[in-house]
């Protein structure tokens, strides 16, 4: 891994500095690039996006000031350099950051890129009526000003130890002011032409966009590197499912690249055996995990009191039970069955970047006997049918997750292990659009958590897990008072943890933040066992052997270096 990372870093550094790695190539000499996104993009304006697919598509066209490289470091895009305390880009008190644009940048229509465009983009997204999907990236900004045509200064309402959210990464790219000027606020909905055909600085520009179907792009004639991109046109097709997408690249060879492949390892191996393509994997901050409900979801409670702090969970409040449930799970086996090379068993909610990942391998070995002993100790004794009981109550769990073949396999396995240690398990699956939605009227959402146990994948933006960990405070618990809006679905509430979270908001410096993040992560997983991490999932795509230059990136758009992609010599 480390060797690979260094290689990657070397390559990205070269690309980032604008040194032509494939100097022979000429712009548009390699014909058409065929990309397949089985979830089709709905819009090309990432600020109105409702999913990752839109961000990917727009990252071919729009660019931020800086981007994340595969190793998690920040590299300049439109910015001339990355602001830091040393170069004066970040002010001493850490309340403002100043970005300098590269000189001579042009939009694909030939007009110059200026600081005004950057300022406009921030205003566009910070407008309350626009419903900007990336508003969180711009939170805490008090003012943004264009100091001169190439300089823009962002001021925050307080010290920002990590100011790299606005205009960093493909979720917050720069829009052209001239094009979007009339689309501020409520008008954003009627700007179809703009949203479907944004003018950008990226390697490609839109020629035709059909929502939820297909996008046709061609090389941007004004792209800042004269010999790039190598491809003249891009066909970005959507639709189908992930196994069909993998088939189109690996077996029929109709497409060059397919995004987000989620199929069983043995099926994937079978497809790879055709020898037409390869797997692209990189590991980021994506963890498949189990959340244990700390409050009582029983349906005998009146509506409005179910799954609230008023009623602690009658079984799971005991840490011994939680630990026993975790010990009974064989994470290595889960990974082998569900993910293979595209996942890794983990005990951490923050498995990467390396500096933030705690040393915590204890849960990786399954221990059925130990789990049984722990349950005995907690007073749960096996009843007539092997299911444990205590004070007339059966040890029974309702285990919910979204519809997904891998998750259903995991459910079956985990149910078996839990039955072995005397825990009765009822399984339930919910349609993903309901489960991940936040309709307060639906009982089946993951935040409402009307079940004892639930499983899904959590992820955080950027490379710093500070704000992600801080989501597990008492204040973030979903409840009827906040219309069930809150990230702390496990309803974990601890004063010690809350204090650490406050501290995290004030801590600067990578080392110190990493130390604190590790402690917080261990508290949630190893010590309190509220979250049971299972698998660190890689970001998985497949690319054809006829495509060169692909470099998976877990922290930003996987098309981050699409300008360097080219047709491989056969």
Partner 1 sequence: MTETERQQQLDTAELVAETAGPAPVTGELPPNNPVHADGETRSQWLDVWRQFRSHTGAMVALVLFLGVILFVTIGPLIWTIDPTYVDIRARNSGFTAAHPLGTDQLGRDLLARLMSGGRVSIAVGLTAMTLAITLGSFIGVMSGYFRRLDAPLMRMTELFLALPLLPLLLLMVTLFREPLSQTFGPAMGIFLLIVTAIGATSWMQSARIVRGEVLGLKEREFILAAKSIGTPPRRMILRHILPNVLSPIMVAATLGIATAIITESALSFLGLGFPPDFPTWGRLLFDAVDQMVLYPWRVILPGLFISLTVLCVNYIGDGLRDAMDPRIRGR
Partner 2 sequence: MLNFTIRRTLLAIPTLLFISLVIFLLLEASPGDPLGDVPLTVPPEVKERMREALGLGQAWYIRYVLWLKQFFWVEPLHWFDQVFGTSYSAGMQRVISFQSRSPVFDVIAQRVPQTLTVVGMSYVIGVLIAIPIGIISAYKQYSWFDQLGTFVSMVGFSMPTFFTGVVLIIIFGVKLQWFPSIYDTTHVVRDWPSFLVQVKQMVMPVTVLALYNAAQISRFMRASMLDNLNQDYVRTARAKGLSEKTVVLKHVLRNSLIPVVTVIALGLPAVFGGAIITEQVFKVNGLGQLLISAIHANDIPMVLTLTFIFAILIVAFTLIADIVYGLLDPRIRYD
Give the footprint of partner 2 on this chain (CB under 8 A).
Answer: 36, 40, 42-43, 48-52, 128-136, 186, 188-192, 195-196, 208, 210-214, 216, 235, 237-241, 244, 247-248, 251-252, 254-255, 431-434, 436-439, 441-445, 458-461, 468, 482, 485-487
Q: Least distance (Å) from partner 2 to the CB of residue 132?
A: 7
Question: Residue 161 or 443: which CB sits closer to partner 2?
Answer: 443
What residues contact 523, with CB distance under 8 A and at least 6 apart?
494, 496, 497, 500
- Enclosing H/E stretch for 33: strand 32-37
Stretch that binds partner 1, among 93-101, 208-216, 283-291, 424-432 (CB under 8 A): 424-432
Q: Among partner 2, partner 1, none, what binds residue 409 when CB lies within 5 to 8 Å by partner kind?
A: partner 1
Stretch that binds partner 1, among 152-160, 264-272, 381-389, 463-471 (CB under 8 A): 264-272
Distance (Å, rounded) from C-alpha 25 to C-alpha 329? Answer: 52
Distance (Å, rounded) from C-alpha 489 to C-alpha 297? Answer: 12
Question: Residue 73 or 442: which CB sits closer to partner 2?
Answer: 442
Note if the bond before 353 is cis, omega within 30 degrees. Answer: yes
User: Does the footprint of partner 1 cover residue 212 (CB under 8 A)?
Assistant: no
Question: Residue 135 or 512: which CB sits closer to partner 2?
Answer: 135
Q: Least distance (Å) from partner 1 to the CB of residue 411?
A: 6
> Buried b vs exposed e over 274-296: b needs ≥16 C-beta within 10 Å?
eebbbbbbbbbbbbbbbbbbbbb
Q: Among partner 2, partner 1, none, what binds residue 192 when CB lies within 5 to 8 Å by partner kind?
A: partner 2
Q: Among partner 1, partner 2, none, what binds residue 188 when CB lies within 5 to 8 Å by partner kind?
A: partner 2
Cα dist from 548 to 73, 174, 256, 568, whole Å: 23, 28, 10, 5
Distance (Å, rounded) from C-alpha 312 to C-alpha 324? Answer: 19
Q: Among partner 1, partner 2, none, what binds residue 211 when CB lies within 5 to 8 Å by partner kind?
A: partner 2
Which residues in the 436-495 window bind partner 1 by CB under 8 A? 442-444
Q: Least distance (Å) from partner 2 to the CB of residue 179?
A: 15
Question: Residue 217 or 398: which CB sits closer to partner 1?
Answer: 398
Question: Residue 76 or 169: which CB sits closer to partner 2?
Answer: 169
Stretch that binds partner 1, among 17-25, 109-117, 401-409, 541-549 (CB under 8 A): 401-409
Q: Among partner 2, partner 1, none, what binds residue 270 when CB lies within 5 to 8 Å by partner kind?
A: partner 1
One symbol per residue from 276 to 305: x for binding partner 1 (CB under 8 A), - otherwise; what is it? -----------------------x------
User: Does the footprint of partner 1 cover residue 252 (CB under 8 A)?
Assistant: no
What is the residue-wise DSSP string for 155-211? EESS--S----TTBSTTS-PPPHHHHGGG-GGGGGG-HHHHHS---SSSEEEEEEET
User: Does the footprint of partner 1 cover residue 267 (CB under 8 A)?
Assistant: yes
Q: Among partner 2, partner 1, none, what binds residue 313 when CB lies within 5 to 8 Å by partner kind?
A: none
Q: Among partner 2, partner 1, none, what binds residue 263 when CB lies within 5 to 8 Å by partner kind?
A: partner 1
Binding-residue total with partner 1 (CB under 8 A):
31
Q: Least distance (Å) from partner 2 to the CB of residue 83?
A: 23
User: Does the footprint of partner 1 cover residue 429 (CB under 8 A)?
Assistant: yes
Question: Given the structure tokens 């010599």, which residue do they identify?
Answer: 569
**CA torsion through residues 64, 69, 72, 75, sign:** negative
What is the residue-wise DSSP string for 391-441? TTEE-EEEEEEES-HHHHHHHHHHHHHHHHTT-EEEEEEE-HHHHSS--TT
SS3 labels along 273-316: CCCCEEEEEEEEEEEEEEEECCECCCCCCCCCCCCCCCCECCCC
Question: Residue 106 or 428: which CB sits closer to partner 1?
Answer: 428
Taking a C-beta distance cutoff of 8 angstroms, is the pair 550, 567 a contact? no
Stretch that binds partner 1, among 66-74, 84-92, 402-410, 508-516 (CB under 8 A): 402-410
Distance (Å, rounded) from C-alpha 120 to C-alpha 143? Answer: 12
Neighbours of 333 (CB within 10 A): 13
Question: Residue 127 or 457: which CB sits closer to partner 1?
Answer: 457
Note if the bond before 229 is cis, omega within 30 degrees. Answer: yes
Of the candidates 318, 331, 408, the residue with the CA atom closest to the CA atom of residue 367: 331
Residues in the chain, overall count: 570
> Buried b vs exposed e over 409-440: b needs ≥16 C-beta within 10 Å?
ebbebbbebbeebbbbbeeebbeeeebeeeee
User: Does the footprint of partner 1 cover residue 266 (CB under 8 A)?
Assistant: yes
Rg (C-alpha) for the chain, rounded Å, is: 25
Which residues in the 324-363 window bind partner 1 by CB under 8 A? 333, 337
Q: Among partner 2, partner 1, none, what binds residue 416 when CB lies within 5 to 8 Å by partner kind?
A: partner 1
Q: Among partner 1, partner 2, none, what binds residue 415 when CB lies within 5 to 8 Å by partner kind?
A: partner 1
Question: Residue 113 or 215: which CB sits closer to partner 2?
Answer: 215
Q: Among partner 2, partner 1, none, what binds residue 240 when CB lies within 5 to 8 Å by partner kind?
A: partner 2
Taking a C-beta distance cutoff of 8 angstroms, is the pair 133, 253 a contact? no
Question: Residue 22 or 216: which CB sits closer to partner 2?
Answer: 216
User: Does the footprint of partner 1 cover residue 428 (CB under 8 A)?
Assistant: yes
Among 208, 362, 431, 481, binds partner 1 (CB under 8 A): 431
Of the candidates 441, 461, 462, 463, the residue with the CA atom closest to the CA atom of residue 450: 441
Distance (Å, rounded) from C-alpha 82 to C-alpha 160? Answer: 16
Q: Among partner 1, partner 2, none, what binds residue 2 when CB lies within 5 to 8 Å by partner kind?
A: none
Q: Which residues bind partner 1 (CB under 8 A)?
A: 243, 263-264, 266-267, 270, 299, 333, 337, 402-403, 405, 408-409, 411-413, 415-416, 426-432, 434-435, 442-444
């Amino acid at each position: 891994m480390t060797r690979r990372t260094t290689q990657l870093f070397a390559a990205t550094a070269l690309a980032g500095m604008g040194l032509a790695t494939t100097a022979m190539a000429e712009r548009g000499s390699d014909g058409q690039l065929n990309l397949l996104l089985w979830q089709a993009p709905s819009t090309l304006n990432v600020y109105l996006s409702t999913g990752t697919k839109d961000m990917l598509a727009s990252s071919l066209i729009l660019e931020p000031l800086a981007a994340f490289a595969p190793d998690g470091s920040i590299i300049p895009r439109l910015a001339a350099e990355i602001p830091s305390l040393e170069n004066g880009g970040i002010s001493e008190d850490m309340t403002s950051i100043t970005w300098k644009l590269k000189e001579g940048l042009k939009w694909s229509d030939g007009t110059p890129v200026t600081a005004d465009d950057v300022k406009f983009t921030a205003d566009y997204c910070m407008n309350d009526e626009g419903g900007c999907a990336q508003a969180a990236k711009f939170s805490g900004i008090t003012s943004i000003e264009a100091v001169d045509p190439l300089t823009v200064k962002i001021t925050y309402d307080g010290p920002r130890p990590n100011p790299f959210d606005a205009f960093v990464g493909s979720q917050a790219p720069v829009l052209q002011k001239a094009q979007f000027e009339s689309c501020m606020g409520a008008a954003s909905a009627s700007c179809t032409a703009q949203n479907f055909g944004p003018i950008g600085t990226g390697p490609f520009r839109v020629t035709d966009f059909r929502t939820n179907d297909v996008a046709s792009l061609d090389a941007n004639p004004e792209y800042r590197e004269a010999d790039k991109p190598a491809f003249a046109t891009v066909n970005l097709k959507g639709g189908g499912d992930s196994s069909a997408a993998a088939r189109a690249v690996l077996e029929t060879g109709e497409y060059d690249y397919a995004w987000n492949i989620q199929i069983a390892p043995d099926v994937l191996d079978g497809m790879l055996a055709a020898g037409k393509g390869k797997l692209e994997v990189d590991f980021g901050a994506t963890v498949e995990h189990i959340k244990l409900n700390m409050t009582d979801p029983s349906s005998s409670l009146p509506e409005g009191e179910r799954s609230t702090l008023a009623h602690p969970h009658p079984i799971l409040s005991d840490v011994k039970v939680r630990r026993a449930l975790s010990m009974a799970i064989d994470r290595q086996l889960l990974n082998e069955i569900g993910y293979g090379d595209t996942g890794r068993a983990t005990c951490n909610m923050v498995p990467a970047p390396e500096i933030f990942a705690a040393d915590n391998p204890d849960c990786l070995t399954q221990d059925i006997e130990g789990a049984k002993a722990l349950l005995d100790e907690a007073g749960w004794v096996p009843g007539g049918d092997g299911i444990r009981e205590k004070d007339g109550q059966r040890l029974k769990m309702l285990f919910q997750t979204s519809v997904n073949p891998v998750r259903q396999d995991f459910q079956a396995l985990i149910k078996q292990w839990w039955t072995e240690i005397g825990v009765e398990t009822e399984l339930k699956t919910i349609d993903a659009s309901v489960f991940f939605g936040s309709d307060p009227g639906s009982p089946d959402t993951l935040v409402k958590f009307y079940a004892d146990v639930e499983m899904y994948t959590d992820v955080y933006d950027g490379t710093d897990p500070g704000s992600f960990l801080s989501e597990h405070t008492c204040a973030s618990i979903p409840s009827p008072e906040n219309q069930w809006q809150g990230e702390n679905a496990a309803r974990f509430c601890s004063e010690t943890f809350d204090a650490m979270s406050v501290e995290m908001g004030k801590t600067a410096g990578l080392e110190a933040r990493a130390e604190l993040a590790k402690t917080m992560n261990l508290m949630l997983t190893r010590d309190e066992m509220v979250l049971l991490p299972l698998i660190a999932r890689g970001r998985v795509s497949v690319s054809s052997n006829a495509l060169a230059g692909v470099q998976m990136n877990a922290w930003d758009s996987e098309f981050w270096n699409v300008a360097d992609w080219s047709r491989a010599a056969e």
